[in-house]
Each structure stands twice: as structure tokens, then as C-alpha cells.
Amino acid sequence: MGRFSGKAYLVTGAARGIGEAVVRRLASEGAAIAAADLDAAGLETLAVDLTAQGSRIVTAALDTRDSAATDAFVTRAISELGRLDGAVPCAGVARSARAEEMSDAAFEDVLGINLTAVFYTCRAVGRVLLAQGAGAIVNLASITSKGGQPGRANYAASKWGLVGLTKTLAVEWGHRGVRVNAVAPNGVDTPMIRDGIPPDFLEGVMLDRTPLGRLAKPEEIAAVIAFLLSDEAAYVNGAVVEVDGGVTAGFMTHQHGAAFGAKSIPPKN
């Protein structure tokens, strides 16, 4: 028996990274899973593994930008799992470029997957949750939804938009029993960050400015998402929870926050 025994959750971007960690965490606490991703082979590996561990899982290889496919998967998930209690739309992409050189496709793809498609997932699952008067959704924002980042005009616009979407759904749906929150991670050790961030920026800027001095593990993000989905977070709605190793707690901060203090401001007395 676990916190999610008898419940079922739909997770997109489930084949790897944070989505996979969310699936494994929820399943380990008793949930049945509806998992979607573009990567059919990755989903198959996940399904074989979870089924061997005694979990129930249905999968769909789909593009989350296809709202009809998303709606159809929600219908199939209900039919095969018997219910849905929430969603974690993790499917996301980063395509960095200087703004003046960014192509139409790079901007539109990132907005389409990180924002519009998340709306489609929230809408499809939200209809089910509203009809039953209960459920929870957790979206994947980012520290990039707290400020700007060079080379990420598309990504930042998508994540700021996602915060607006999350808060609006929280306000629209909260009084009907459906909570909607987001987490805002800093760097998480997944293929997205390893493939998408130059190593010198990762070591020289991101990790240097992060008080905990390391990337998050996907499981550490999944743990907070599981809390937000659970009844323990029953009064949390419309929140954007920083899971960022302290990076947004500071500014003018480097060397894990130690360097400024090391200048030894003379004691006053």
C-alpha cells in the first residue's frame, strides 16, 4: 500500500528524464500509469520493467501537440485503468540559439511542445478530473520562468507562459476540486541538460551559482511532484515550487555563495 494505491496518473515525456522518474516514483507508491512519449522504444522498455514489478501501465507513442491523440489516449487510459486522478505533463524540449538568429521553427516548436501541448494535456485530463470533482496536475516550469537566459528566448517564453497557464487553471478549477501546481527546477541531470547546455556553461555558471553545487537528480524532482499530487498537499494550489538547489535564493552569488562572504566584511564590534 502506498500514497497512490488505487489511483492512476497520466505522464507525458515518460520515456526518459524527469518524466520517467515521475512514473517510477508514482508506480512505486501504488499508482497505475498512463505513459505517453514520442519514443515508442523507450516506452516499451519502461512498460516491461514496470509490469515486471507488478505495476499497471498503458502507453501511447504520440506527439503531445496532437490534441486529438491526447484526447484519445485519455479515453483509452480510463477504459484500461478504470480511472485518472491527475497528470504530469513532462514532455518538453530546449532549442537554444541567439534570438536574432533563432528560426521560426525553433521558436514555434518550443512554444508548441512546452506550452500549447501542455495546455492540451491539462485540458484533456482536466475534463475528467472536473467531472469527478477531484484530482491534481503538476506542470514542469523552470528557473527560466523566473528571469531571462541568453539563447533561450523560446524556452523562457514557454516557461513564463506555463506559469500563467498553471495559475489560471488553479484559479478556474480549484473550487471544483482540481488543484494545479508547478515545480521550477534548476539543472536536472537528464539528457536535455547534458545534450543542450555547453559543458563550460554548466560547470562555469550553472553549478557555480547553485548553492548546493550540483545538478538535481530526476528523482529529487519526482519526489516533490509526488508530494504536490498527494493529499498531503491538499491546500497547495497555484504554487510554483522552486526545486533549484537555492539558485534563485541568491543574486550576485557565485562559488556556491561562498565567495562574497569570503571577502570578510569587517565585524562592526
Ligand X SMILES: NC(=O)c1ccc[n+]([C@@H]2O[C@H](COP(=O)([O-])OP(=O)(O)OC[C@H]3O[C@@H](n4cnc5c(N)ncnc54)[C@H](O)[C@@H]3O)[C@@H](O)[C@H]2O)c1
* Stretch of 26-34, 164-172, 182-190, 233-241 contacting ligand X, by CB under 6 A: 182-190
Mark 141-180 with x for binding to ligand X (rule: CB under 6 A) and - for no binding: -x--------------------------------------
Positions 198 through 227 that interact with ligand X (CB under 6 A): none
Least spacing, CB of residue 13 vs ligand X, in Å: 3
Least spacing, CB of residue 265 vs ligand X, in Å: 34
CB count in 10 Å sphere of residue 148: 11
Number of shown-chain residues binding ligand X (CB under 6 A): 29
Non-local (6+) Cβ contacts of 66 within 8 A are none
Is 185 among the residues that bind ligand X (CB under 6 A)? Answer: yes
12 sits in which H/E element: strand 8-12
Per-position DSSP letters for 27-72, written without gaps between them: HHTT-EEEEEES-HHHHHHHHHHHHHTT--EEEEE--TT-HHHHHH
What's the distance, CA 62 to chain centroid?
18
Least spacing, CB of residue 109 vs ligand X, in Å: 8
Positions 31 through 90 that interact with ligand X (CB under 6 A): 37-39, 63-65, 90
Assess whether 155 carries a catalytic annotation: yes
What's the distance, CA 246 to chain centroid?
18
What is the C-alpha to C-alpha distance for residues 225 and 222, in angstroms, rounded to an integer? 5
Rounded (10°) angle between helices 17-28 and 218-229: 50
Is 257 among the residues that bind ligand X (CB under 6 A)? Answer: no
Secondary structure (3-state) at 93: coil
What is the C-alpha to C-alpha distance for residues 239 and 179, in angstroms, rounded to an integer? 10
Cβ proximity to ligand X: between 86 and 187 the closer is 187
Least spacing, CB of residue 204 vs ligand X, in Å: 16
Is 19 among the residues that bind ligand X (CB under 6 A)? Answer: yes
Least spacing, CB of residue 72 vs ligand X, in Å: 14
Active-site residues, by number, are: 155
Binding site for ligand X (CB under 6 A): 12-13, 15-19, 37-39, 63-65, 90-93, 113-114, 117, 140, 142, 185, 187-188, 190-193
